[in-house]
Amino acid sequence: MRGSRSKALHDRALVNCQYSMATFSTGERKRRPHGDRKSSEMTLHLKQTFEAAILTQLYPRSQIDIYVQILQADGGNYCACVNAATLATIDAGIPMRDYVCASSAGFIEDTPLADLNYVEEAAGGPQVALALLPKSDQIALLEMNSRLHEDHLEQVIEAASKACKDVYAVLDQVVRDHVHEVTTLLGE
């Protein structure tokens, strides 16, 4: 038995995440791949997001491990992690309420921007990271830093939701194509 027995929950599964960045992923070489504060914070965010989406009631006293490794970072790290982990969970056959799609958004020069890259994030403007369950429009995680006037908040969230829905379309298509291919191969 691998996980910690003391952390096991009696009525649902425990979601255990680890967020790790390769040392060569950022422009400046990163000394510690995981264990620093930012990685721990991302780990907690991922855990929170997936506990909202995975049907943990079906697996009491068990543990689901989600390990994310960043190979190269160019902005939107958290969002790419969420999208990748969603596909991995589906590939593993773990039942979820809905896909979890994430996108970042910002507000520069009075325009809301979706999916910021590294240069735009480093510019210092407000950034919103949104993880959405697309069909029900429920928000799994919403995070914002820097300052943003509340009148603009709705526009920015709107931009992020739209980007999430676009990502959902892509993920859904990929999953359906894959299932179609596998069933055709098995069907023989």
Contact footprint for other proteins (CB under 8 A): 2, 16, 18, 20, 22-27, 29, 33-35, 65, 67, 69, 71-72, 74
Q: Which is nearer to other proteins, 33 or 98 (CB)?
A: 33
C-beta of 154: minimal distance to other proteins in Å?
35
Min. distance of Cβ 29 from other proteins in angstroms?
A: 5
Between CA 50 and CA 82 the distance in angstroms is: 8
* Minimum distance from residue 136 beta carbon to other proteins (Å): 31
Q: Which is nearer to other proteins, 40 or 57 (CB)?
A: 40
> Please, which residue, 68 or 133, has the CB nearer to other proteins?
68
Minimum Å gap between C-beta 72 and other proteins is 5
CA Rg, the chain, in Å?
Answer: 18
Please state at what angle helix 77-92 crosses helix 37-53, rounded to 10 degrees. 40
- Say if CB 83 and CB 102 are below 8 A apart: yes
Residues 6+ apart with CB under 8 A from 34: 18, 19, 20, 21
Residue nearer to other proteins on the CB measure, 18 or 48? 18
The residue whose two tokens read 């359906």 is 176
Helix (H, G, I), strand (E, B) or coil at 162: helix
